A = this chain, B = another copy of it.
Amino acid sequence: MNDKFYTLPMEKQHTILNAAMHVFSKYEYKKCSTEEIAKKAGISKALLFHYFEGKKDLYLYLYQYALDFFVREMSKTHDYNETDYFKILVNAQMNKMDILRVHPDLMQFLVKFYLEENPEVYDEKNKEFAAILSESSKRFMDRADTSKFKEGIDAEKILNIIVWMADGYMRSRTEKDLENTDRINEEYLEYIEIMRRQCYKEEYLV
């Protein structure tokens, strides 16, 4: 990575990084062309190679950047004293939305990176993401209180349903939808509320 990249205005940096994330999140490493990234970023391929030493360099830098950004943003507004199961979930989702507003393909890129098997770019770092994800989700949900749940509710399965639901909901939104963040959040909260009303004992549903 060339230090000159940092001297670019933040907006241009993001344009380039987002273009790279977009392409790298679509296919495996080998099928991603630097030409496509450059075109998406609105610059020439030559300039892209001026900022980064090569395709591999860009790819690995991008991963480090994305992972750092993800961890930093997710921790930012997390309240470690909150114990309400659904409030924790909603807060986490809001953080995720904020991330996606800056880097729309960040999550998918991290997943693709995690699944990448090309030996050319494979090292032990590829599995970091899963570890961090499960560790932080454990840490986030650590204080989560399931005692408010009705009898016979399997909290683990409920968490799965909510995660799948959130994923499906986001996937069902088009690129244009995503611009209206408030509308998205509002609608998403309705879905979370459905699950909450089904899971909590009557006394906690005020």
A175 interface residue (CB < 8 Å to B): no
In the assembled complex, A163 has its CB within 8 A of some CB on chain B: yes
Q: Across the interface, which residues of B come within 8 angstroms of A171, CB to CB? A: 164
Say yes or no: A168 contacts B160, CB within 8 Å.
yes
A206 interface residue (CB < 8 Å to B): no
Q: Is residue A167 within 8 Å, beta carbon to beta carbon, of the partner chain?
A: yes
In the bound complex, do residue B190 and residue A157 qualify as a contact, i.e. CB atoms below 8 Å apart?
A: yes
> Residue A165 at the B interface, CB < 8 A?
yes
A163 to B26, CA, bound (A): 24
Report the Cα distance A161→B26, complex, angstroms.
26
Give every chain B residue within 8 A of A194 (Cβ-Cβ). Answer: 153-154, 157-158, 161
Q: Is A198 an interface residue (CB 8 A)?
A: yes
Chain A contact-residue range equals 20 to 34
Residues in B with CB closer than 8 Å to A199 are 198
A169 adjacent to chain B (CB < 8 Å): yes
Contact of A164 among B26, B27, B153, B167 (CB under 8 A): B167
Question: Which of B154, B160, B165 is the one whose CB lies under 8 Å from A161?
Answer: B165
Distance between Cα atoms of A194 and B162 in the complex (Å):
12
What 1/0 flags go to A159-198 for Cβ under 8 Å of B? 0110111011101100000000000000000110011001
Does A31 make an interface contact (CB < 8 A)?
Answer: yes
Q: Which of A160, A168, A190 has the most chain B CB within a 10 Å cutoff? A: A168
Q: Which residues of B contact A26 (CB under 8 A)?
A: 27
Across the interface, which residues of B come within 8 angstroms of A191, CB to CB? 157, 160-161
Measured between alpha carbons, how far is A27 from B30 in the docked complex, in Å? 12
User: How many angstroms from the CA of A195 to the CA of B160 in the assembled complex?
Assistant: 13
For the complex of A and B, the 5 pairs showing the least CB-CB separation, nearest first, are A164-B168, A198-B198, A164-B165, A161-B165, A27-B27
5 additional contacts (CB under 8 A) given A161-B161, A168-B168: A154-B194, A161-B191, A161-B194, A163-B168, A164-B169
A–B complex contacts, Cβ < 8 Å, 22 sampled: A27-B27, A31-B31, A154-B194, A157-B190, A157-B194, A158-B194, A160-B169, A160-B172, A161-B161, A161-B165, A161-B194, A161-B195, A163-B168, A164-B164, A164-B165, A164-B168, A164-B169, A164-B171, A164-B172, A165-B165, A165-B168, A198-B198
